[in-house]
Structure 1
Amino acid sequence: MSSTHKPLTGPPTPWRLRGPHHEIAYWSAGDPAGPAVVLLMGNTMPGAFWPADFRGRLVASGLHTTHFDYRDTGASTHGVFTEHPYDLLDLTDDVIALADSLGRERVHLVGLSMGGFIGLLAALRHPGRVAGVTTMMSTGDYTVLLDATLHGRKPRHTTPPPPREDWARAAAGIPADQPYAELLAQSFVLACGSRGGTDLSYWQKQLAVNAPDPARTMAFDHKRAADRTPEAWLNLLPSLIRVEAPTLVVQGEDDPIFPPPNGRMVADAVPGARLLTVPGMGHMLEPAFHDRLATAIAAHVREAENTRAEQS
């Protein structure tokens, strides 16, 4: 795929998927005849945090690309968790409902952080609906993050490793007596890698453009939703041998939240999975990595499509 492409313009009015207690806002771009890719963002984050440049590269490669806002984020319904508590399995089922809304029997799932974990959940729970999975900056055992960041206790499992201690100390040291957007921008900087090239002003701008009122449009409930999930669906490592979907695991060498063994363990557990380790990448999707990642994802999707066609 060429590194040049036509940038995507600003977000059009979203389509809306109606659930029993909520609506999901989603946006699609690209050739409807191309393979369907659904982008799954990380916890608390609206879908707009999939950079337009990155999405544009996927579209330029011929992929029909959809991003969306989880319950309680962005333009989707807010206040859902308080009135109707849900868990990660419910968020996973939302993804399959979105595939139905798109008229797609099978979709390729590309997930970042919590989104990568949801992609693996979908591949296990709905194997006939998932054509392929790309998991980025993620893990196969979500209990480690919950224990470290939600409960402040020793992880119940010894593998994979918890978030790096230097990151945890620095994140805890961010002054809380400042606007929430500024607190977020500082936390994003701490999660970046050594070769991304972004700074505080970059993330301040991203928040101003994509989440101008983050205290309202970014969910505070997704970790609590994860905590409500049955533990058998939080530690997937013993179950990943059952994943049938072609899987690409993208791991940043500098990821402080899900350090490198997280990616290696998922790649080792999923039959036939491929591991792409990116030097200098942390836990944020910085522009320096857009072309490499979009190229790898497009190639992965095309290979999965070709393999399926040969087997038909």
Structure 2
Amino acid sequence: MLMPVVRRMSWWMVLGWMALGGVALRAEIASTTESPFDRYPIHFTTVNETAIAYQDMGPRDGEAVLLIMGLGAQMLHWGDTLVQGLLDSGYRVVLLDNRDAGLSQKFYALSAPPVWWTLVRAKVGFTPEPAYRLQDMAADAVGVLDTLNIRQAHIVGASMGGMIAQVLTAEYPQRVLTLTSIMSSSGAPHLTESKTEAISALALGAKSDIGRELELANRVTIARTIGSPDYFSEDYARQLAVRVLNRGSYGPGTVRQFQAILASGDRSRLLGSIDVPALVIHGESDPLLPPDHGRDTADKIPGAQFVAIAGMGHALEPEVSRRVLAAMLPFWDESRSQSGLDVSEDEMGPVEAGTSIGSAPL
């Protein structure tokens, strides 16, 4: 009975149905590949007289995860794979741009000496007097939680973000469900130094006023030099760099953040005071903060678990992010079952929300 019906259909009807089907298929594909960063608006809040940009993703009643990124990086550097993986697991994901990076406030009037000069002075024992400290950046992150009335969250930091997360956990333990420190360090002086090529690449990220194409090339070079040798993709590195540059970049901010790291010094004693479930993840091929930085961090946090990822450098490429999720999600489940984590609704009272600027493809 079907064939006569098909024969009576005009060709334009058939082609129209095919076109509609193609549109629907494309829409379905787009809905599954759209970046989570494009699905949620960007907001601002003022913390310590500093404007901080953040995004709040996922269910309001999900356990909150606060992601803090590293030196000169933006929240985009967490990548779609890791963020979408958290959302798919039912978590409420909160991300921020650290001060002096991304869309957060820049401290234009403050000095930013060259990276090489800062390093030379540090080598001969001169601790830089930073424009701000890691403690200030930790307070910024807590301020975002305050804005959202989030009483407690899983705190996750990468690289410098891991250092900020360590400080936050030690100084605001009542706000922390768990700590995850990724490709970070205790700052202890005896640890293996960064490879020379990694430091040189890092210095590229502090350059400014060099033109978009050169900055794009520099960012790809950085990703290749310090990234994961087993998982590096030139296409992925370039696509991410384009999205980051479309959002903006600011080299002097990277220098000031670097000064804050150096001024933080050895956090060994601080790590020993941490009393929440902690997970330390580190790449076995990290040229910027070699693997002993991760092992040392885990050794100094009481009861911390340590996970080494083979082939991971100092970046979160999609395949690396899958391995990070494979370590992090079971750790949170285990911590919840063992300690009965209290993730009830907050009772902090109203806090004035940040100002939304909407979302746009980046």
**2:166 paired with 1:138:** no
CA shift for structure 1 position 215? 3.8
* 1:69-96 deviation digits (Å, cap 9, x = unpaired): 1112222122367299321110011111
Counterpart in 2 of 1:69? 97
Deviates more, 1:78-87 or 1:291-300: 78-87
* 1:115-134 deviation digits (Å, cap 9, x = unpaired): 01111111111111111111
* 1:105-145 deviation digits (Å, cap 9, x = unpaired): 1111111100011111111111111111111111011xx7x
Helix, strand or coil at the partner of 1:71: coil
- Structure 2 vs 1, CA of residues 207 and 218 (structure 1 numbering), >3 Å: closer, same or farther? farther
Counterpart in 1 of 2:53? 25
* 1:132-168 deviation digits (Å, cap 9, x = unpaired): 1111111011xx7xxxxxxxxxxxx2x1111024544
Counterpart in 1 of 2:275? 244
Counterpart in 1 of 2:165? 119
* 1:206-238 deviation digits (Å, cap 9, x = unpaired): 1111322654488332112334x4xxx431123
Of 73, 92, 98 in structure 1, the residue corresponding to residue 144 of structure 2 is: 98
If each structure's helix is expressed as a fraction of its own residues, which one has the higher value? 2
Q: 2:163·2:185 contact (CA, 8 Å) conserved in 1?
A: yes
Question: What are structure 2's unaligned runs of at least 5 residues?
Answer: 1-30, 112-129, 344-362
Q: Distance in 2 between matches of 1:290 and 1:34?
A: 21
Q: Normalised by the size of structure 2, how large is the TM-score?
A: 0.72
| Letter paired with 2:185 | T
Q: 2:48·2:140 contact (CA, 8 Å) conserved in 1?
A: no
**2:81 paired with 1:56:** no
Q: Distance in 1 between matches of 2:193 and 2:275?
A: 28
* 1:243-279 deviation digits (Å, cap 9, x = unpaired): 1111110010000011010111111111111111000
- Structure 2 vs 1, CA of residues 79 and 133 (structure 1 numbering), >3 Å: closer, same or farther? same
**2:257 paired with 1:222:** yes
* 1:3-52 deviation digits (Å, cap 9, x = unpaired): xx955441533122112432111111112212110001001111111112
Counterpart in 2 of 1:88? 134
Counterpart in 2 of 1:202? 236
- Structure 2 vs 1, CA of residues 166 and 75 (structure 1 numbering), >3 Å: closer, same or farther? closer
Q: 1:37·1:108 contact (CA, 8 Å) conserved in 2?
A: yes
Q: 2:134·2:163 contact (CA, 8 Å) conserved in 1?
A: no
What's the C-alpha RMSD, in Å, of the aligned pairs?
Answer: 2.8
- Structure 2 vs 1, CA of residues 102 and 77 (structure 1 numbering), >3 Å: closer, same or farther? same
- Structure 2 vs 1, CA of residues 166 and 225 (structure 1 numbering), >3 Å: closer, same or farther? closer
| Letter paired with 2:273 | R
Q: Distance in 2 between matches of 1:45 and 1:11?
A: 21
- Structure 2 vs 1, CA of residues 204 and 111 (structure 1 numbering), >3 Å: closer, same or farther? same
Q: Distance in 1 between matches of 2:315 and 2:269?
A: 27
Q: How does 1:157-168 map to 2 (within 5 A)?
A: 157=189, 159-165=190-196, 167-168=198-199
- Structure 2 vs 1, CA of residues 180 and 251 (structure 1 numbering), >3 Å: closer, same or farther? same
- Structure 2 vs 1, CA of residues 20 and 243 (structure 1 numbering), >3 Å: closer, same or farther? closer
Helix, strand or coil at the partner of 1:65: strand
| Letter paired with 1:13 | P
- Structure 2 vs 1, CA of residues 207 and 130 (structure 1 numbering), >3 Å: closer, same or farther? same
Q: 1:116·1:138 contact (CA, 8 Å) conserved in 2?
A: yes
Q: Distance in 1 between matches of 2:98 and 2:39?
A: 16
Helix, strand or coil at the partner of 1:255: coil
Question: What are structure 1's unaligned runs of at least 5 residues?
Answer: 145-156
Q: 1:137·1:251 contact (CA, 8 Å) conserved in 2?
A: yes
Deviates more, 1:14-23 or 1:244-253: 14-23
Count of residue pairs the alignment pairs up: 287
